[in-house]
Amino acid sequence: MTMENTAYINNKPFRIEPGETILQFVRRHQGRDLIPTLCQSDNLENYGSCRICSVEVALREGGPSRVMASCHTPVAPGYYVYPSTEKIKRLRKNILELVLSEYPAKRLSPEPGMLPTEFQSVVASAGSPEVRYRRKITEYDKDKSRPYVWSDFTECIKCYRCVRACDELQTERVLWIHGRADKSRIIKDFDRSFIESTCVSCGACVQTCPTNALFDRFSAKTLKADKIVRTTCTYCGVGCNLDVKVSDGVVRAIQAPLDAATNRGHTCVKGRYAFEFYNHPDRLRSPMIRKNGTLKEVTWDEAYDYTAKRFTEIKEKFGPDALAGISSARCTNEENYLMQKFMRVVIGTNNIDGCARVCHAPTAMGMQWAYGTGAATNSIDEMYKTGCILLIGANSSAAHPVTGARIKAVAESGTPLIVIDPLKIDLARVAKHHLQIIPGTNVAVLNLFAYYLLKEGFIDEGFIANRTEGWDGFRKYLEALDVDLQEKICGVDREQVRAAAIEYGSAATAMEFHGLGVTEHWQGTKAMTLIANIAMMTGNIGRPGTGVNPLRGQNNVQGAADMGVQPHQGPGYLDITNPEIIDLYNSYYDISHPTKPGYRIPEMFAAAARGDLKGMWIMGEDILQTDPNTCHVRSSMEGLEFLVVQEIFMSETARMADVIFPASSFLEKEGTFTNGERRIQKVQKVVEPLPGTKPDGQIVVDMMNRMGYPQKGYSADIILKEIAEIVPFFKGVKWDELGINGKQWPVLENGTDTKIMHTESFKRGKGKFHSWDYEDSPEMNENAGQYPYILTTGRLLEHYNSGTMTRRTPNRELVTEDVLFVNPHDAETKGLVSGDYARIFSVRGATTMKVRVTDAVRPGVLYTTFHFPEAAINFLTSGIGDQYTLTPEYKVTAVDFEKSLYGIFTRAECLSIVKTKQDA
C-alpha cells in the first residue's frame, strides 16, 4: 500500500478502491456490523437521508473530525474513519428516537418464530433507545389485494427505499411520496390499492423495505430457514440468481441476491414468486406404461425395461434412424448433453433436436454464417456503457423482465433507444424511435436501415477493410436498393428509418438486442445476417457497449444448443459430417458415430406421418401445446408406434405417451444453465426430488446403462468434466470453480472466461456480409386473399410459454386468460368493443378469445399470447418455417375474425371445428 491508496479505520491502514464510498470501504474491510444503515441499499443509488450511517472523519490520527454520512461520501487517501465513537453512538440513538416516535412500539419485536426485520436489528444494535416524545401513530389498513406483494404502511419509517427500488430497478414508478414533512406517506399510483395499480409484482420494494411496511405472502425477509441455497432461475434466458429458503425440506421463499452479476438483487414476479408449481398436487409421481389403452402406474424398473425393449426392437427392425429424441431447454447442460449422447452413441442416430428449433435456431445459423459463432457477442451489463440501444422483435419487459427493466432505465437516463417491433411494447413508449413495421418485414426494414447508414456516411472503413469480407457486394446491393419498395413493404415512413439509422450510426458505441420477432419468420436467418451486417459496417463489434445480442427465450436454450441438441452439429457446434470430427467422436466414445444429419423437429413430424419414424423420446417439451398447426402435429404423432414422454406434469403430449417418466424440477437437481450472455451458472439442488420422481439426467443415465452403454453415474461434476473434454469452449469449465456468478464461454484451459467476443478476429476468420431481397411469406401469398389480417404472437410478463408452471401458482390470479389485441379501426369495422369475444380463424382452424381494443397494434394486425390452452392459438398457426432452419413462423399467420356470441370454445370444440373444415 502507498499513501495514495490508503485510508484508516480506527487508525489501522487499509487499501481503498477507486470510486468507493466510506461505507463501502469500511464494509469491505471490517464487515457490515460497524456501520448501520436504513435508507441505503447496495443495489440502489446512495440517498443520504437517514444519517444513521454517519461516521467521524479526520485528516490525521486523533485530529479534528467531522461527522459525515458514509453512504454517499467518497473515501479519500489519508482519511481516518471512526465508525463507532461515543459521539456517533449518541447521534445514532437520537436519530433512531426520532424515527421511533412515529413507529408502533408493539412492532419492535420480531413476530413469533420469525427473524427480526432490518429495522428491528438496527434498533436492537443501538441499545433500543428510549423514546421521550411519542407522536400519534397513524394506523393503515393492510393491502393484500394482490396475491404476492402486500403492504401495511403503519410500519413505514419513510426511508423511501421502496420508491427508489420501483424507480431505479423496475422503472415502473408505482410507488410515490404523497404529502410533505410529517404528512408524507407512500401511495400506489394515484392512491390506489395494489390490485388497482400498475404494479408488476416484481417484489423489489418488498425485499428492500427495512420493516414490514411492505411484505409478501411468503414472509421472505423474516422467514427462518433451515438453509438458504443459491441457484439459477428456471424461466427466461436472463439467468437470474436466486437465494432459496428451505424449512423442513420444503421451499418456503425466494429472494434475489445482491451479489449476483446477472440480476443484482432484482428479479421478476415469476422468478421470485412463481415456484409453488414444484410440489403442486398435479406433479407426476410414478412412471406409467400404457396398458390396454390406459396409462397405468408401474415401477421404475418395469418402465426402464419396457422402454429399452421397445427401443431395441425398433432399432433392430427399422434401423436407428427410425428413432428420434427431443430435448429441453428447461433441463441443464448436463442433461441435454446426455440426451443427445443417448441418441447418437446408444441409438446411433443424429435424430436429436430441441426447442431452439422453434425459437432461436435462425440466430445461431445467421450469426455462424456471419461471425462463426451463434451466441451473444457481449455482456448485458454493457448497456450502461453504450451510446445507443437497438432493440428488434423483443418485448423484453415481458419476456426478459430484468433486462427489460435495465433497458428502460438506460433509455430514461438519456441513452437513445430504437425499437423495431410491430407491437407498441412498453419500451416503445420510452424509445426515441419506434419503427412499427408490418409483421414479417424485417428484411425490408433492415435493408432500408443499412441503406441509410451507407448513404449518410456512418461506415467504419477501417473495420470493414481489416475484419470483414463481402462488403463490396453488399455495398453495391444497397446502392441499387429500391427505397420506395422497402418503405411500402415494411409500412414505415422512410424518414423515420433514416432518423433511426442516423441515431445508431452516430453513436460512438451501439448495442443491438433481438428476440423471436426476428427469428420466427420465413426469412428469420436472412434477417439475422442483416443485423450482423449493420453491426459490422459500423464497427460495432468486439468493443464494450457494442455487439449483437440475442435475448434467449428459455433459461437454457443457449446451453442446449451448446451441448449438441441439434441434428447437424454435435456438442460444441462440431460438424457431424466432418471426417475429422467424426474421428474425434469415434475415439472419445469408442463407437461408430452416425454421420448423416438427422431430422429437425418439423421433419420428425413429417417422417412420423409417412411411417419412417417409429419411436420418439421427448424430454420436457409439450409439442402438442407449443408447436404450430396443432392438428398436423397430433395426426403425425398418432403415426408413431412408441412414444416416451419425460415430464413433471401430465401435459397434452404426455397424454399420448406409451411410457411416462416422471422428472424433477429445477429445484430438485444439480447442473448448469447457460444464459443469453454465454454465462454458465450453477443449478444447485435445493430440496430432494418428490417421491417417485428422478432428475432428468439420472433417468437418461439409467436408460443408457439399461441399454448396455456404461455411462458413469449422474452428477453435475462428473458430466461437466466429460463436456469439458469434448466441447472446445468449455475446456476450462470446472464445477468447483464456477463460483456464485459462473463463467462466460469460451473458458480457456486456465479458467479465464470471455466477456466480449470477436475483439481481434472472428471465429470464422473474417466477418462475412450477406445480401438478401425481401420475399413474401408463403403463408401470406397463399392465404391473404381469404384471410386478410396478420396474427402475431408474444408473451406476457406473468406467465411463461404454455403456462404449465405459472398456471399452477398464484400468477393465475394476476392474468387469467389470453386476449386478442385489435386496433380501434378494425374493431369498429367488426363491431367489437373491449370485453367482447371474437372468433379468429385461419385456413387450419378456429378459436375464440376476448378482445382488447388498443392502439398497441396497427390496423390490419392482431396480436395475442399463448399461455392458456383454452386459447388454442396453435390451431391457427402454420407449419411454414424459416427457409434454412425450419423455425416456425409464429409471428405471421393469415387470419380473419368476427364477433362471437358464444364465448370461449373448448379444446374439443376447436378440434371439432378443424375436423369439420378438413372433412369439407
User: In the prediction, which pLDDT does 133 show?
Assistant: 83
Q: What would the mean pLDDT of 729-755 be, rounded to a whole number?
A: 97
Give the pLDDT confidence score for residue 910 in this predicted structure.
54
Q: Please indicate, yes or no, whether residues 459 and 426 belong to a single structural domain of this protein.
A: yes
Residues 573, 512 share a domain: no
Residue 613 is assigned to a structural domain of this protein: yes
- Cell numbers linked to 82: 471512526
Residue 320 placed within a domain: yes
Q: Is the pLDDT of residue 917 over 70?
A: no
Judgement on whether residues 902 and 874 belong to the same structural domain of the protein: yes
Q: Which CA distances in Å does 100 have to 92, 232, 608?
A: 12, 39, 72
Using DSSP, state whether 774 is helix, strand or coil.
coil
Cα distance between residue 596 and residue 577, in whole Å? 7
Q: Of 31, 63, 84, which residue sits at a domain end? A: 84
pLDDT for 848-890, tens place per residue?
Answer: 999 999 999 999 999 999 999 888 899 999 999 999 999 999 9
Alpha helices per DSSP H over 611-750: 623-626, 630-637, 696-706, 716-726
Q: Which helix (H) or strand (E) holds 444?
A: helix 442-455
Residues 365-381 have a mean pLDDT of: 97
C-alpha cell at 373: 459463432
Question: What number of helices (H) and strands (E) belong to the chain?
Answer: 29, 37
Same domain, 563 and 702: yes
pLDDT at 236: 95
- Which of the listed residues 498, 514, 547 is the one where a domain comes to its end? 547
* pLDDT of amino acid 639: 95
Over residues 767-775, mean pLDDT: 98
For residue 691, pLDDT beyond 70: yes
Q: Are residues 568 and 686 in the same domain?
A: yes
Query: Is 904's pLDDT higher than 70?
Result: no
Element (H, E) at 76: none
Task: Determine the Cα–Cα distance for residues 543 and 541; give it in Å rounded to an integer.
Answer: 6
Neighbours of 589 (CB within 10 A): 15
Domain presence at residue 507: yes
Residue 694 CB-half CA count within 13 A? 22
When pLDDT is cut at 50, 70 and 90, the band that residue 130 belongs to is confident
- pLDDT given at position 129: 85
Q: What is the 3-state secondary structure (H, E, C) of 187-222?
A: EECCCCCCCCCCCCCCCHHHHHCCCCCEEECCCCCC
Write the burial class of residue 702 (CB in 10 Å: 0-12 exposed, 13-18 middle, 19+ buried).
buried
CA distances for 659 relative to 294, 303, 650, 781, angstroms: 11, 7, 12, 42
596-645 pLDDT, tens digit per residue, is 999 999 999 999 999 999 999 999 999 999 999 999 999 999 999 999 99
Nearest to 596 by CA among 572, 618, 576: 576
Question: b/e for 85-118, b at 16 or more Cβ within 10 A?
Answer: eeebeebbbebbbebbebbeeebbebeeeeebbb
- What is the CB-side half-sphere exposure of residue 150 using CA atoms within 13 A? 20
pLDDT of residue 915 exceeding 90, the answer is no
CATH (domain of 32): 3.10.20.30
298/442 same-domain check = no
Rounded percentage of the chain residues whose pLDDT exceeds 70: 98
3-state secondary structure of 386: coil
Largest CA distance in the chain: 96
Q: What is the mean pLDDT of residues 780-786?
A: 96
Q: Cell for 143?
A: 393491502
Integer Cα distance of 613 and 619 in angstroms = 17
**Whether residues 441 and 484 fall in one domain:** yes
Domain boundary among 495, 513, 547: 547
Q: pLDDT tens across 238-268, in order?
A: 999 999 999 999 999 999 999 999 999 999 9
**Residue pLDDT, tens place only, 694-725:** 999 999 999 999 999 999 889 999 999 999 99
Q: 400: pLDDT confidence band, cut at 50, 70 and 90?
A: very high
How many whole angstroms separate alpha carbon 340 and alpha carbon 220?
39
Pairing of β 642-647 and β 659-662 = parallel
Strands lying side by side in the sheet with 227-232: 227-232, 241-247, 250-255
DSSP 712-743: PPP-HHHHHHHHHHH-GGGTT--GGG-TTT-E
Whether 605 is in a domain gets the answer yes
The Cα–Cα gap between 276 and 298 comes to 27
The residue whose grid cell reads 417418466 is 661
804 and 907 in a common domain: yes
Q: Are residues 676 and 580 in the same domain?
A: yes
Helix locations, 263-416, DSSP H? 269-273, 300-318, 333-341, 361-370, 396-399, 401-412
Pairing outcome for strands 80-82 and 767-768: unpaired
In angstroms, the CA 917 to CA 406 distance is: 47
DSSP 496: H
Beta pairing, strands 615-619 & 323-326: parallel
**722 is a domain residue:** yes
Place of cell 453491426: 535
pLDDT at 181: 82
> What CATH number should be reported for the domain holding residue 298?
3.40.50.740
In this model, does residue 906 exceed pLDDT 60? no
E-strand stretches of 593-641: 615-619
Q: Is residue 913 part of a domain?
A: yes
Residue 191 confidence (pLDDT) = 93
pLDDT of residue 919: 52
Is residue 227 one of the residues assigned to a domain? no
Pairing of strands 819-822, 511-514: unpaired
Domain range enclosing 800: 778-919
How is 212-278 classified by DSSP, letter by letter? SSEEETT-TTTB--SEEEEEE-SSSTT--EEEEEEETTEEEEEE--TT-TTTTT---HHHHHTTGGG
Tens digits of residue pLDDT in 481-532: 999 999 999 999 999 999 999 999 999 999 999 999 999 999 999 999 999 9
Q: What is the DSSP letter of 4?
A: G
**Three cell numbers, residue 37:** 444503515
- CA nearest neighbour of 241 among 739, 849, 576: 739
Q: Residue 826: inside a domain, yes or no?
A: yes
Q: CA 280, CA 227: separation in Å to the nearest integer?
A: 22
Phi, psi of 860 (to 5 degrees): 90, -5
Q: Give the residue-averaged pLDDT of 428-441.
A: 98
572 and 709 belong to one structural domain: yes
Q: What is the CATH number of the domain that holds 414?
A: 3.40.228.10
Number of domains in the chain: 4
Segment 132-174, tens digit of pLDDT? 888 888 889 999 999 999 999 999 999 999 999 999 999 999 9
Q: Residue 911: is its pLDDT beyond 80?
A: no
Both 831 and 784 in a single domain? yes
pLDDT of residue 712: 87
- With 70 as the cut, is the pLDDT of residue 296 above it? yes
Nearest to 77 by CA among 154, 22, 10: 22
Mean pLDDT throughout 194-202? 96
Grid cell of 534 as nine digits: 449493420
| pLDDT for position 136 | 85
Q: 295 and 426, same structural domain?
A: no
Give the integer Cα–Cα distance in Å for 562 and 744: 13
Query: In this structure, which amino acid lies at residue 143?
Result: D
Considering the chain, what is the average pLDDT of its residues?
Answer: 95
